[in-house]
Amino acid sequence: MSKKNINVTDIILPIISVIIALGTAFIFHACGAKEDGSFMNCHWAECVVIGLGILMTFLSCAHLCTSSAQAKMGLSLSLAAVSVFTALVPGVVIKLCMMKDMRCHTVMRPAVTVLCAVMLAACVVDMFIRKKKGSN
């Protein structure tokens, strides 16, 4: 891996992925358990987002480590796709709680949406830079 082949996005992608995975688990998590100990829907949405965040972390680390331009392109593309899907998990793929003033609506969903949007933007920028470099 030559040093020159590393872009800012190579570093940014794993950072955002880790923030999505760990942040969803510890900071902007969904609503807690009910009094009887059972979980509401949003808890499962949270679990799926954490899972996808871990998947993104693996993909973006692979993106950082590989030296093949084509592999990087492919990984960026799949990261972009996963981030779009992740953004849709809370609320669309998995329904959240009944009241929109509950934590899963006010904290988890917007945080996941914004982070996934940043992720998507970073992926697009990464692919753009690579395409430009490739054509030079």
Partner 1 sequence: MLTKLPFKNLVNRPARSAALIIISAFLSFSVFGGAMVLSSLQIGLGSLRSRLGADIIAVPDKAARQNDLEAILIQGRPGYFYMDKENLDKISCIEGIEAVSAQYYLASLSAGCCSMPVQVIGFDPETDFSVKPWIQKSYKKQLNEGDVLAGANINAEAGENLRFYGETCKVAAKLDKTGTELDNAVYADSATVKMLMAAAKKKGVGVLEKNDPEKLISSVLIKVKDGYDVSKVSDEINIHLRGVTAVKTQNMISGIAQSLSGISEITNILMWAIRALALVIMAVAFSMMINERKREFAVLRVIGASRKRLAGIVLTESVIVGCMGGLTGVLAACVLIFPFGGLLEQKIGLPYLVPDVKTILLTAVSAVLAAMIAGPLTAAFSAVKIGRMDTGVILNSN
Applying CB under 8 A, which part among 5-13, 59-67, 73-81, 103-111 lies near partner 1? 103-111
Query: What are the angstrom distances between the C-alpha of 37 and each of 3, 32, 94?
Result: 51, 9, 20
Applying CB under 8 A, which part among 51-59, 70-78, 110-118, 123-131 lies near partner 1? 110-118
Q: Encoding tokens for residue 68?
A: 């093949």
Q: Encoding tokens for residue 96?
A: 């959240």
Report the candidate in 7, 124, 110, 36 with the shortest Cα–Cα distance to residue 76: 124
> Of these, 29, 63, 105, 130, which contacts partner 1 (CB under 8 A)?
105
Applying CB under 8 A, which part among 57-65, 78-86, 101-109, 125-133 lies near partner 1? 101-109
3-32 residues near partner 1, rule: CB under 8 A: none
> Of these, 81, 99, 128, 133, which contacts partner 1 (CB under 8 A)?
99
Q: How far is the CB of 70 from partner 1 (least distance, A)?
A: 30
How far is residue 92's CA from residue 74's CA, in Å, rounded to a whole number?
A: 26
How far is residue 62's CA from residue 105's CA, in Å, rounded to a whole number?
A: 32
- Per CB under 8 A, 97 contacts partner 1: yes
36-65 residues near partner 1, rule: CB under 8 A: 40-41
Please count the residues of this chain forming the interface with partner 1, following the rule CB under 8 A: 21
- Three-class secondary structure assignment of 37-86: CCCCHHHHHHHHHHHHHHHHHHHHHHHHHCCCHHHHHHHHHHHHHHHHHH
Instruction: Point out which residues bind partner 1 (CB under 8 A).
Output: 34-35, 40-41, 95-102, 105-107, 109-111, 113-114, 117
